[in-house]
Structure 1
């Protein structure tokens, strides 16, 4: 059913054998040589955000620094229990995942916020790449950025 296909496409990322599994809708004329995956839609949790910056606009701005913003989930941020802001972003696969970012509030104060990637099964904590884990990374620990 179309609704089930949409659910699968919208609720990833998925994994197989603890590796990222990217899916794409079939198109007429599609061949293995024509299929490329350049982005992966992920939910990113933003931790450490000051309460006065919990808004859809701030989520959009932070998300644009990571990739193309798909959605800002701010249902949870409307509660008194909000601990993080969620942003669904199409992350470029050729760039390292970022651990966090500095943001500035309207008064000019700078604060560090941490990013947690939901359902990210394995990626390298040394270089931030999705294609391997730290134990297989060729980057020396002292070059970590």
Structure 2
């Protein structure tokens, strides 16, 4: 399913959310973003890459783990 939404690009992108299905059961919906552009896998904010991330530079130690991955990018439409 595809939807178009407005987002505040100054905030981290959402990876998922929980919703109730028609039977009242909770399920997790994962998000993927089309035309993502420059994206930071450290802080989840658009507009800069890891090498320019203030969050990364403020860390005492960067262990290499990232909360976001390339899975957040949607496959290009055909």
TM-score between the two structures when normalised by the length of structure 1: 0.35
Deviation track 1:27-78 (CA, whole Å, cap 9, x = no partner) reads xxxxxxxxxxxxxxxxxxxxxxxxxxxxxxxxxxxxxxxxxxxxxxxxxxxx
Name the structure where helix makes up a greater proportion of residues: 1
Per-residue deviation at 1:116? 0.8
CA deviations on 1:11-37 (whole Å, 9 max, x unpaired) are: xxxxxxxxxxxxxxxxxxxxxxxxxxx
Q: Distance in 2 between matches of 1:126 and 1:107?
A: 37
User: Which of 41, 56, 59 matches 1:125?
Assistant: 41
Determine if the alignment matches structure 1 residue 116 to structure 2 residue 32: yes
Using the TM superposition, give the Cα deviation of residue 105 of structure 1 relative to its aligned residue in structure 2, in angstroms.
1.0
The CA RMSD measured in Å over matched residues stands at: 2.4
- Give the secondary structure class of the aligned counterpart of 1:118: coil
Q: In the alignment, which residue of structure 2 is the partner of 1:91? A: 7
Query: Where do 5+ consecutive residues of structure 2 fail to align?
Result: 69-78
Query: What is the CA–CA distance in structure 2 between the aligned matches of 1:138 and 1:96, rounded to whole Å?
Result: 13
Deviation at 1:98, TM superposition (A): 0.7
Q: Give the 3 Å change call, closer, same or farther, for CA 92–107 of structure 1 in structure 2.
A: same
| Moved >2 Å (runs of 4+) | 134-142
The answer on whether the counterparts of 2:16 and 2:29 sit within 8 Å (CA) in structure 1 is yes
Aligned length: 60
8 A contact 2:37–2:46 mirrored in 1: no
